[in-house]
Chains A and B, each alone.
Chain A
């Protein structure tokens, strides 16, 4: 078992409500794709889940146990189970440590291995992510971007986690390298039974990786649906906009220019936070005043789909 449940999470940084009541469930062995634009709170959520940040309120449950309240040994144990891979491997690997040293450090934080046993474990991890032994002695700047990201993945796997938080892991990589990393992650998931939270702003890669999709907008999850249903029939107008914004050959440029830029998170709009940009909101339909006054609750639209919109496609 390795399911991740997030309940009523709030994170406040000064005037910014970075997370504003986030609920999310990531089932064992599954992949939930988390999409949203910059400032929507995706990375903040990731940091709370891996305990780099304490939430202002709410809980992160690992198989039902609240990880945000854990301390000491228990915290170390829970930390081990959830690991994170960052966007840019040239920033997430210590430039002064070889690949083997980075991985070995991670191994020894949770398993008292040394000498030959430690070297064997490092070799096993390198092999697991498809790297040859000769990478072991190299520094991050001596290997390619794709190899660096594999080292970062090996380091995360070194503590034998059950859940991986993948935060924009291919955004800094070239197209052909991105494909190899995505294939590797899917193979690792199948082999090790890992649970993924796959965070990206790229809808096409999210679709390829995920069973469920959750969309964040200004600190809230506005839609949460099975991947197929989401792409076939998005319920929230913002989800529709995101899908339309994916450039495709032959498709018209469908996002209305009137949608403007994302609002300032320090000063979010009242009511539905998307209403000033919403193509089906009060800007286009003046009679829909409820959007500007009442915050829509994330209601179940069918047994599997939640969408926080007063006028969501039922």
Chain B
């Protein structure tokens, strides 16, 4: 990531130097470039002539520098022609009607099929070899490529909701293009413009080299290359100067495009900084726990934090205690950013890099993680736990058939033979109500509907008879009728095989229908942990109360406004002192501002982290 930044910077600097040479070259070195010295004709590299001299004894370095103006000038003119015609053409096609768009697209594609240099040669032969001819030819030859790109980018930008909104508002088409489409593809077009300039430099030099562009007495790099090539057996250095200049300029403008694009669009810079995060698990346990009770998943004092880049920590999950018994379905609710997903991922040793995990205890099926070797831990996770994510199309490999993906885990972790794994897969698929499992096995993920894909995910999870299923928003991406079926499947699996399930969702209705116990998370902490009935009847934490009041259900009084929570959740790293909820809490007391409430075990099997709850 940093290296591309450096390379881009160097390219941009080189491009600037070239532009500088184009400006100051002729006045500074014009004299030296024209000075003939027949005594020193065709000399090689020497102290007086760093790149040697040509057949008339002129200094090649000086001539190369002087020729920069013409070479770059012609290339800039050609690129300008390309952009002036190509961008409006592509943009206009993108927002035009389907018929015109279709025809225009075909024409551009056909035009694009011709090699640009061939097209340029044809054009110059028609209008005769001249400066103007070369510029026009290269400019025209570049149009289809840029037009096609603009068309594709603009068409995709035109499909965005903000363009649709503008159209619905009645904003005029030309204004939509100028205001909403072009600025949002400007960075990519800048990259293209810079690359086109690089290509134009090389192309014009090629035309001059073929005698179709610049002719004496004018010189550009291509023309110099001709002269250098004629003398190549006498002084090889003569071709070096212009050749290096062409290559350098081509690369400098080509590479500086990306840097320019990043400078134009700040969003692009942000996206680049996000790149390069890999999945890794980093453990650092606080104290080694002991092997204990019969819960399937037992977590004590789980913390997940991110380094803030200045040596500090941004805590995303703080002191979470979590316990799921065999045959139990426990719900984890909270709004986005509350840490519910990170909690589950950390329990499966899947917290995303650069998150760090720490815990006093983390045990699956009674086996303490910190006492296991890495390979034993992987094996335990591979066979003991299954994960079901929100978007099944993102968690299935699109390039592999269902059969391969279904059987892979069982073959790796349980060393099942291919045939046995296949039979087991078919059985699991039947159990999750997938019709025609034999047929499904041969299909690819994209051939299945969203509901079928999620069923495949569940069937896949069940292959190794896991003791625990972590289901993170397993139905959010699905239709309601399909959601109902998936929930039934989870419930049936839980009942039939005593599989423990940790169900993560923002939907309290769904959680309360399926779970026996619910944990409510806020700002990385579990603020309430209670049996479902008690939580719904008498929510103890003010946040739980507010959340329930905000969510309409089929019995909500329509004549009243919904309950709301003032303010918004604190961002990571800016937690308020005391209780994290106190700035938004309707029952805030002085102590809430000063001290964070401990999680207190109440009489009715619930734990609440609130100063009000301490005196029931």
Contacts and interface: CB of A to CB of B under 8 A. Distances in A.
A, B assembled together: yes
A174 B558 contact: no
Interface stretch (A17-25, A252-260, A280-288): A252-260
A31 to B, nearest CB: 11
A232 to B, nearest CB: 11
B335 A175 contact: yes
Interface string B534-550: 00100000000011011
Contact of A253 (B160, B488, B512, B568): B488
Interface in A199-238: 201, 203-205, 207-208, 231
Contacts of B167: 52
A152 interface: yes
Interface string A236-256: 000001111111111101110
A149 B154 CA distance: 25
A152 B166 CA distance: 11
Given A144-B568, A242-B480, A255-B485, A204 B164 contact: no
B547 A84 contact: no
Contacts, number: 186
Interface in A131-187: 141, 144, 146, 152, 155-156, 158-159, 174-180, 182-183, 186-187
A152 B536 CA distance: 34
Given A86-B161, A92-B165, A208 B513 contact: no
A244 B488 CA distance: 13
The majority secondary structure among interface residues of chain B is helix
B169 A37 contact: no
A176 B564 contact: yes
B565 A94 contact: no
A187 B331 CA distance: 34
A154 B433 CA distance: 47
A79 B165 contact: no
Given A88-B161, A204-B509, A176 B170 contact: no
A51 interface: yes
A96 interface: yes
B283 to A, nearest CB: 31
Chain A's interface size range is: 35 or more
A123 interface: no
Interface in B151-183: 160-162, 164-172, 179-180, 183
Contacts of A201: 479-480
A297 interface: no
A253 B513 contact: yes
B165 A152 contact: yes
B167 to A, nearest CB: 6
A293 interface: no
B483 A52 contact: no
B170 A76 contact: yes
B565 A96 contact: no
Contacts of B568: 144, 146, 177
B184 interface: yes
Contacts of A97: 179
Chain B's interface size range is: 35 or more
B556 interface: yes
A261 B435 CA distance: 11
B510 interface: yes
A242 to B, nearest CB: 6
Interface in A63-112: 76, 79-80, 83-84, 86-88, 91-97, 105-106, 109-110
Contact of A245 (B166, B481, B508): B481
Contact of B162 (A47, A93, A249): A93
A146 B335 CA distance: 13
B446 to A, nearest CB: 14
User: Interface centre among B168, B512, B563, B568, by most A CB within 10 Å?
Assistant: B168
Contacts of A241: 481
User: Interface centre among A86, A87, A97, A174, by most B CB within 10 Å?
Assistant: A174
Interface in B195-252: none
A183 B561 contact: yes
B509 A83 contact: no
B313 interface: no
Nearest to A180: B564
Contacts of B512: 247-250
A176 B554 contact: no
A178 B480 CA distance: 19
Given A95-B267, A179-B551, A246-B554, A50 B487 contact: no
B401 interface: no
Nearest to A46: B168
Nearest to B556: A208
Contacts of B489: 257
Contacts of A152: 165
Given A204-B553, A205-B552, A253-B484, A92 B171 contact: no
B481 A37 contact: yes
A94 B480 contact: no
A179 B507 contact: no
User: Interface centre among A76, A96, A97, by most B CB within 10 Å?
Assistant: A96
A44 B172 CA distance: 22
Nearest to B515: A249
Among all A-B residue pairs, the 8 with the closest Cβ atoms: A249-B512, A255-B484, A179-B550, A92-B161, A37-B479, A179-B562, A247-B510, A245-B484
Interface of B: 160-162, 164-172, 179-180, 183-184, 267, 335-336, 433, 435, 449-452, 479-485, 487-489, 491, 506-510, 512-514, 532-533, 536, 546-547, 549-554, 556, 558, 561-565, 568
Given A155-B165, A250-B513, 8 more contacts: A37-B479, A88-B161, A92-B161, A97-B179, A176-B550, A203-B554, A249-B513, A255-B485
18 contacts: A38-B479, A94-B180, A95-B162, A144-B568, A178-B551, A179-B552, A204-B551, A204-B552, A205-B552, A208-B552, A208-B562, A231-B554, A244-B484, A247-B512, A247-B514, A248-B554, A255-B481, A261-B451
Interface of A: 37-38, 47, 50-52, 76, 79-80, 83-84, 86-88, 91-97, 105-106, 109-110, 141, 144, 146, 152, 155-156, 158-159, 174-180, 182-183, 186-187, 201, 203-205, 207-208, 231, 241-251, 253-255, 257, 259-262, 277
